[in-house]
A and B are shown apart, each in its own frame.
Chain A
Amino acid sequence: MTRSFDIVVVGAGPAGIAAACAAAEQGRRVALLDDNPAPGGQIWRGPSTAHRDAVSRAKERWLHRLQQNPAITSLHGCRVFDVPGDGLLAAEQNGQRVDLRYSKVVLATGARELFLPFPGWTLPGVYGAGGLQAMVKAGLPVRDQRVVVAGSGPLLLAVAAYLRETGARVSAVCEQASWRSLLRFGASIAHTSRLWQAAGYRWRTRGTPFHAGCWPVAAHGGKTLESVTLSNGTRQWTVPCDLLACGFHLVPNTELASLLGCTLQQGFVTVDALQQTLIANVFCAGEPTGIGGLELSLAEGEVAGLAAAGAIRAAQARIPRRDRLRAFAAQLAVTFALRQELHSLSKADTIVCRCEDVTWRTVSQYTGWRAAKLQTRCGMGPCQGRICGSALNFLLEWSPDSVRPPIFPVSIASLAGPTASAPAELSAIQEN
């Protein structure tokens, strides 16, 4: 089946929702697709908690705006895996292939957590920080569970606050960035609502020790997690826990941008003032252009949606605000830059590639990603190297391989083509 739209927005997180609303309000027919069962992305996933903060208020406002608009077709559980032709995306929805024809496309594919392998990180009970939050929202019970939240980035406090409110006993929050970086960051946002937001999270996690300049070095346990060893560079100590929520900030999802031929610089998609990539008719907004959080994603999404809809003046009017928010994003990158010590987190026996069970000892003897992949199958499993590839990009500074379709695993039947297509040209190329 092939469906046609003026504008296809890939990713229904804040950037995608903002882009879809902005474009649809200009009278365009918009498809908003996402592999999750509901719009909201990672940050607005699942039901809101009782606590009404700026994030949940923005969520209600935008989801309402989205649902009000009949010009937006939401395609849930839908994942783009290939670009079969100009102006065409191939997606899989509920196991069926759907092809989407567009005049303009907005990539709002978001970001994923960076996981760094350390001894014990594959034990049951160790999750990503955002990952654990998503699991809890999906029904994982955490009441009275002892949780350590560790890694890096503003997400840690938000996750800790959420876990506390769902009944977990958060015994420590560990941020690898130093107090010095955090205080400088605090000063830079002192005049904004963000400081209040951070203070709010800290208030909601009061009573939980917050360690800056601190990171996990090993997780321990027999069948499941029992404790985690933390380090501050001079001292190590071990904290008993049932769950470890651990993520080292975010890496952008740029696979589809790469497949479309967009230019990437230092891992992020290059866009102009109107969020247009160097490829005609392809726009990009949110984390793939630079990790900047909710407000920047919304602002970029609006600019992209308006520009894609041809409402250039309206888009331009929103540029100054977006650019102010970008300054904050630049601060984020500096503040939460990963420290050198994390390069030595992996030990010889530490599994780096969970899909293919490849250890640090095995993979680190190669000089580059391609040879390591071919010789060890590192990154060749179902996650297609999204986890270990990003880790090795940090640990060994290996640049990622070229992106090939399918960018997600899909059924072989979907790979073959749209379901209601004309019969394949098999007879034409099969010889007699």
Chain B
Amino acid sequence: MAARDAIVIGAGIVGAACAAELAHAGLRVTLLEQAQPGTDATAAGMGHIVVMDDSPAQLALTHLSRQLWDNLAPSLPDTVEFDRCGTLWIAQDEEEMAEVHRKHATYGAAGVETEILDAAGLHAAEPNLAAGLAGGLLVPGDAVLYPPVAARFLVERAVASSAKFLADTPVASAQNHTVTLRDGSSLHADVIVNAAGASAGQLTPGLPIRKRKGHLVITDRYPGFCRHQLIELGYLKSAHSVSADSVAFNLQPRRTGQMLLGSSRQYTDESSAVDGRIVQAMIERAEHYAPGIGALSALRIWTGFRAATPDKLPLIGPSLADASVWLATGHEGLGITTSLATARLLADQLLGRPSPIAAEPYLPARFENAQKTGAHD
């Protein structure tokens, strides 16, 4: 197959992964980044590599991606801080324990190892959790990493495969095989990959993407306060929503001994300012699950914007209006996990290779009718 040119816009973790994959496959790739690698949503996220099963398509994509991260793990430099600490889904009551059993069965059917913990098992695994919780589901194969360094690592892999990387290079427009830079110059390629995250819609109008704001708090170093990525199963209720503001208990141990405390989801707030009301709700949720956490010291709070789609699946494949523009965006809160699978599916489609999983659920074309009827704004 003849080498083709591809321009990837955005060196967040998704764009960086796409550039690395396409360059590795032999395409002549140029990766454009408006700032520096991994400085936007990638830097704002937790860096949780997690298998999720909101839908069969989400399970397939996250599972494939976790396998790809496992394959990559031995090559990751120490500074990526890849740590297979596992995810522990926490059940408050018997109703949520039923969800534990359902999840256990679903993951098991997909070949994902899990372990059901009763109340005593949960307490043994995480002594700082509140008494009286019903149990949990441990997913030992899940991991955490430090996203900005992971993104830079992928950029460096792309460059090692002869990709060209241009940092501090904002793009003004991208259509019809032509990328016009903010400085007025233009680049041409067979394929343009729009991996601009929550800003993707500015380059490709009409995308069914909305910004979904999140808050995170980072603590000082308390090694051992928690040992797994902890998520309340109530998270499923809040993450399922596509409209209302919500918070859920989500606590991540970093290799440094620090912890990241989340999470929140808001559609209506376009400002990057920290919202005290949300932080308060997040912390009260955390104190409910981990009563000792209030005494720990918080160093910083920040916000970021997820690129959310209506069905909570990313857009991977050719755009509807312009055959030269492909999309790799809309990853919501799962961009770190699904970046590698996204790159694989995108490259497979571009190169006509078979994919390990079906590509259809993630094709932008699934929104064709919706866009025509204006069902999504």
Q: Which residues of A are in contact with B by a Cβ distance under 8 Å?
A: 82, 84, 366-368, 370-371, 374-375, 377, 380-382, 384, 404-406, 409-413, 415-417, 424-426, 429-432
Contacts and interface: CB of A to CB of B under 8 A. Distances in A.
Given A380-B300, A430-B285, 15 more contacts: A84-B276, A370-B35, A371-B36, A371-B37, A374-B43, A375-B148, A380-B218, A380-B299, A382-B297, A411-B298, A412-B296, A424-B281, A425-B280, A429-B246, A429-B247
Interface stretch (B100-108, B237-245, B309-317): B237-245
B241 A416 contact: no
A81 B80 CA distance: 31
Contacts of B234: 430
A382 B300 CA distance: 9
A308 B355 CA distance: 69
A412 B301 CA distance: 11
A223 B79 CA distance: 28
A432 to B, nearest CB: 7
Interface residues of B, number: 48
B291 to A, nearest CB: 11
A379 to B, nearest CB: 10
B264 to A, nearest CB: 9
B286 A412 contact: yes
A367 B247 CA distance: 36
B301 A404 contact: yes
B284 A416 contact: yes
Contacts of B218: 380
A426 B300 contact: no
- Secondary structure call for the A interface: loop
Given A430-B281, A431-B241, A412 B149 contact: no
Contact of B247 (A375, A384, A415, A426): A426
B299 A430 contact: no
A432 B237 contact: yes
Contacts of A432: 237
Nearest to B243: A431
Given A368-B36, A374-B148, A404-B274, A426 B298 contact: no
A370 B280 CA distance: 27
Given A375-B149, A412-B283, A405 B301 contact: yes
Contacts of A415: 217, 279, 283, 298, 301
15 contacts: A366-B36, A371-B36, A375-B79, A375-B148, A377-B256, A380-B300, A409-B299, A412-B219, A412-B286, A412-B297, A416-B294, A424-B281, A425-B280, A431-B237, A431-B246
B202 to A, nearest CB: 21
A370 B274 contact: no
A429 B299 contact: no
A417 B274 contact: no
Contacts of A381: 299
Contacts of B38: 374
Most B Cβ at <10 Å: residue of A384, A406, A425, A430: A430
A416 B287 CA distance: 10
A371 B149 CA distance: 10
A406 B301 CA distance: 7
Contacts of B168: 367
B195 interface: no
A355 to B, nearest CB: 9
B372 interface: no
A413 B287 contact: yes
Given A412-B286, A429-B246, A370 B241 contact: no
Interface string B259-296: 00100000000000010111111011111000001111
B152 interface: yes
A144 B301 CA distance: 46
A186 B354 CA distance: 80
Given A412-B293, A417-B276, A429 B220 contact: no
Contacts of B287: 412-413, 416
B294 A413 contact: yes
A413 B300 CA distance: 14
B39 interface: yes
B220 A382 contact: yes
A54 B149 CA distance: 54
A282 to B, nearest CB: 18
Given A409-B298, A415-B283, A416-B294, A425 B277 contact: yes
Contacts of A82: 276
Contacts of A406: 298-301
A377 B152 CA distance: 14
B285 A426 contact: yes
Nearest to A85: B276
A417 B278 CA distance: 11
A416 B283 contact: yes
Given A367-B36, A431-B244, A411 B296 contact: yes
Contacts of B279: 415-416
A310 to B, nearest CB: 31
A424 B293 contact: no
Contact of B300 (A384, A412, A417): A384
B247 to A, nearest CB: 6
Interface string B160-185: 00000001100000000000000000
B296 A384 contact: no
B262 to A, nearest CB: 13
A358 to B, nearest CB: 11
B187 to A, nearest CB: 22
Contacts of A429: 244-247, 277-278, 281
Closest CB pairs A-B (n = 8): A413-B294, A416-B283, A371-B36, A374-B148, A429-B245, A409-B297, A417-B280, A426-B281
B274 A405 contact: yes
